[in-house]
Amino acid sequence: MKFYEKTINEKHIYTGNYLEILNVYVELPDGNKSNRDIIKHPGACAIIPFLDNETVLLVEQFRKPLEKTILEIPAGKLDKDEEPLKCAYRELEEETGYKAESMTYLGSIATAPGFCDEIIHLYKAENLSLGAKCCDEDEFTQVRSFSLDEVKSMVKSGDIIDTKTISVLAYL
Amino acid sequence: MKFYEKTINEKHIYTGNYLEILNVYVELPDGNKSNRDIIKHPGACAIIPFLDNETVLLVEQFRKPLEKTILEIPAGKLDKDEEPLKCAYRELEEETGYKAESMTYLGSIATAPGFCDEIIHLYKAENLSLGAKCCDEDEFTQVRSFSLDEVKSMVKSGDIIDTKTISVLAYL
């Protein structure tokens, strides 16, 4: 593999709530050594739910790292050994209260490949009906509907900054 | 601020090469407590460089967290107190060898708002001329040119997974 970096030594730094922090010495293609901090993430799904052909649901949520409330498509982490498709159905209902009859895989994105292995699997949900809303107990969120044109305008105006929400538009 | 999470206690876990790892106890809107691991990142710029109206440059690079080589628009971290625009000019030349006469701000993305404060500022570079290539000494990369249509096809086919590269298409 071109430019491959061989692991010389890997040190475990920290086990978080769901992240693992590693520090890795690597051998570069020219034989020199370098050091990388690596965040291990369980992976996630994100879903763009269509109420009709033109209307989608977004979730408003406070994000502590940014110290602000932002708009995002519904998303959540994979449980251990969970299939991404199953996670997409589960997270859609947990985050919005809607069940989907149809869930279409769109693509997968690497959110921060320089330092983190997180992959988010993107899905389009259609034929929605209200299920049993059941949020994670430490999530305080509000579900809001927008036309797809409004979403695109909010991306261009800077009112939407979440990269999975912006990326999903490229697959539609 | 709706859904605001007040910091109760913040513990510093680790200082990495450029990341800081924090563990934070927060008070939720209902008064209950929760715990968040937060990755502090210096922020970055990413640039889509146009050789002509239809041809752009991408960088092929091994990404240790993913254990593979991927295609991305050129990007790099902000130096301390560096203006994003200055960073965009600098990183374009360091990563591709090209200087840009024109650099247009497109928007800013939050790559992983659930656990990391990284913001990437996106730019479009035009009117390029070859400068003095000077890569970071631990980066082994290859610059390749593609038509914008090829880039869009590679997103849909899954050959491009980098979210900043996918997101920048939404602003063009």
Please name the member of A36, A63, A142 whose beta carbon is closest to the beta carbon of B64.
A36
Predicted local distance difference test score (pLDDT) of residue B44 = 98
Structural domains of chain A, count: 2
pLDDT-flagged residues of chain A (< 70): 1, 132-139
Q: Which residue has the tokens 């997409």?
A: A88
Edge-to-edge strand order for the sheet containing B68-72?
B68-72, B55-63, B141-147
The b/e string for B99-128 (b: 16+ C-beta within 10 A; e otherwise) is ebeebeebbebbbbbbbbbbbbbbbbbeeb
Does A113 share its domain with A31?
no
Measured CA to CA in angstroms, residue B153 lies from A112, A171, B38, B146 at distances of 21, 10, 35, 11
Predicted local distance difference test score (pLDDT) of residue B131 = 79
Predicted local distance difference test score (pLDDT) of residue A137 = 56
Does A70 share its domain with A101?
yes
Does A167 share its domain with A110?
yes
B1 within domain boundaries: no
CA distance B127 to chain A (A): 23
Contact between B64 and A38 using a beta-carbon 8 Å cutoff: yes
A105 within domain boundaries: yes
A117 within domain boundaries: yes
Does B20 share its domain with B79?
no
B60 within domain boundaries: yes
pLDDT digits (tens, 9 = 90+) for A79-113: 999 999 999 999 999 999 999 999 999 999 999 99
Concerning whether A137 is annotated as a catalytic residue, the answer is yes
Which chain A residues have a beta carbon less than 8 Å from that of B153? none
Q: Does B171 touch chain A (CB under 8 A)?
A: yes
pLDDT-flagged residues of chain B (< 70): 1, 132-139
In chain B, the percentage of residues whose pLDDT exceeds 90 is 92
Does A81 share its domain with A118?
yes
B63 within domain boundaries: yes
ipTM over 0.85: yes
Predicted local distance difference test score (pLDDT) of residue B133 = 62
Domain containing A34 equals 6-40
CA distance B8 to B31: 11
Chain B residues 74-113 with a CB less than 8 Å from chain A: 107-113
Task: State the pTM of this model.
Answer: 0.96
pLDDT digits (tens, 9 = 90+) for A22-35: 999 999 999 999 99
Contacts of residue A158, defined as CB under 8 A and 6 or more positions apart, other chains included, come to B107, B108
Predicted local distance difference test score (pLDDT) of residue A140 = 87
Does B29 share its domain with B102?
no
